[in-house]
Amino acid sequence: MEFSVTLISAGLTLLIALVWLFSQKSSKQLPPGPTGLPIIGNLLQLDKIAPFKTLVKLSERYGPVITVYLGLQRTVVLVGYDAVKEALVDQADDFTGRGPIPLLLRATKGYGLAISNGERWKQLRRFTLTTLRDFGMGRKGMEAWIQEESKHMVARINSTKATPFDPTYYMSCTVSNVICCLVFGQRFNYDDDNFLRILETISEILKFGSSPWGQLYNIFPRLMEWLPGQQHTIFAEVEDLRDFMMRRIQEHQDTLNPSSPRDYIDCFLTRLSQEKHIPTTEFHYDNLVSTVLNLFLAGTETTSSTIRYALSVLIKYPKIQETMQKEIDTVIGQGRCPYMEDRKCLPFTDAVLHEIQRFLDIAPMSFPHYALHDISFRGYTIPKNTIIVPLLHSLLKTEKHWATPWSFNPQHFLDQNGNFKNNPAFLPFSAGKRSCVGESLARMEIFLFMVSLLQHFTFSCPGGPDSVDLSPENSSFANVPRKYKIIATPRG
């Protein structure tokens, strides 16, 4: 009896504490938002498959800056171009923080570029941008690597002899080999079993992160560690991925020539050696392993998924595919590799590729930011330790900036004369100081690979255009495209 009374008292104390916590919204001038329940917050109010859609609806009632609770985690959501730009660009210094996402914390052991803050983030980001640019990211050197990889891609697709095939692994190999050249200084054969297993692991990690189960882990990590489920399999695969990275790093260490760096790992190892006596340096082994993991994950799945989705779009809309091919044939022909400088002469093709990224909306909730200190924003106070979500979905799918946001429409990026026009709300890579490090590389890959594919093949699928569903297979953290078997018919 005494135990029961104690338990009830403890429960009431916890409930009162939680009610008090939620009541602080008004006293701290938090942005407005729906009232949540103890412990689970607003989770029951969110669409389990596509929570970003619920957040857009909530903004219609509460405004472009809203507060929700994901479990006990206070979260401020920025909705619409004006709010996102004002935060990430105009108040960039206040919004550079990156949230401690439990999934990534577990995968990276808290190290690396993606989830770091403060001096660690500054040192690693500066070094990474400089090093990748030195090895050609966004420049002629990288263009040549992509052109060379395009030849391997075309040859492999040619081997299908116009029979149905799943393009997933072809696209993953192709895109991943580009980041492998930058980071590892080598490409892998499309038949390399270890390489294919690593790519499959990356795909599974992204799917899990975008699933309701993955989101539950981010909200209740301690509970999920105790429960059985797919999370334990995923973390075992993450360790396999880390082992792969560590073996490559050791191979580099054994053959390192500091005066002639071959790739990103060589440059990091050299810097590590130079600063090993500096107590505050961020150039140490743990940061190297996790940053290489960051680059490999980010540089593979999102771009390959975008290209795979692009093929589905062209199959769905064969007239758009035909118009692109005619434009490419006129400007480049079928005999030479495309160059980035060709893009300005291919306005329709460029518009279609931009519209594909807009329509896919691959990262609808972006990568969460974090309040490292109390932030004053639009008359509200965003308290320290608050997760901040710039809702990129609300930029890419809104009537304010797009004539037909829910329809695939290349005219969104064309003026009345058929010339390419940009749109300030087109921010699939986010904006500000924590925008995607590999944006220029991804843009180059999407253009060069897609133009090369359209030079050599016409794409279709066994079920015809009407069988293609462009809605995502999984949503939440990422909109993962559906998989289809496609047919690549060589062009004459």
CB 328 within 8 A of CB 353: no
Return the pLDDT at 281: 93
Using a CB cutoff of 8 Å and minimum separation of 24, what contacts does 461-466 make?
Answer: 461/164, 461/315, 461/485, 461/486, 461/487, 462/164, 462/487, 465/315, 465/316, 465/317, 465/318
CB 449 within 8 A of CB 307: yes
Q: How far is CA 117 from CA 108, 123, 233, 409, in A?
A: 14, 10, 29, 39
Which two structure tokens, joined as six digits, stand for 239? 């360790």
CA separation for the pair 342, 332 (Å, rounded): 8
3.30.70.20, 3.30.930.10, 1.10.600.10, 1.10.630.10: CATH of 99-346+396-490: 1.10.630.10
Return the pLDDT at 116: 93
Strands 457-460 and 73-79, by their bridges, are unpaired
Return the pLDDT at 16: 46
Return the pLDDT at 140: 61
Residue 492 three-state SS: coil
Return the pLDDT at 135: 76
Q: What is the largest CA-CA distance in the chain?
A: 86
Return the pLDDT at 138: 53
Residue whose pair of structure tokens reads 């925008």 in the numeric block:
435
Q: For residue 252, how many other CB atoms are within 10 A of its CB?
A: 21
Q: What is the pTM of this model?
A: 0.89
Q: Which of 365, 239, 246, 293 is nearest to 115 (CA)?
A: 293
Residue 457 three-state SS: strand
Return the pLDDT at 48: 82
Q: At what angle do helices 168-183 and 285-298 cross, to 10 degrees?
A: 140
Alpha helices in 255-346 (DSSP H): 264-274, 285-298, 301-316, 318-331
Mean pLDDT by runs of 10 across the 492 residues of the chain is 44 48 57 92 89 94 96 95 97 93 88 92 93 71 88 95 93 92 89 88 82 83 87 89 92 93 93 93 94 87 93 97 98 94 97 97 92 96 96 94 96 96 95 90 95 98 94 78 94 82
- Percent helix, strand, coil in the chain, to 5, is 55, 10, 35
CA separation for the pair 182, 264 (Å, rounded): 6
CA separation for the pair 443, 460 (Å, rounded): 24
Residue 75 three-state SS: strand
End-to-end alpha carbon distance in the chain: 86
Amino acid at 406: W
Beta bridge partner(s), residue 165 = 486
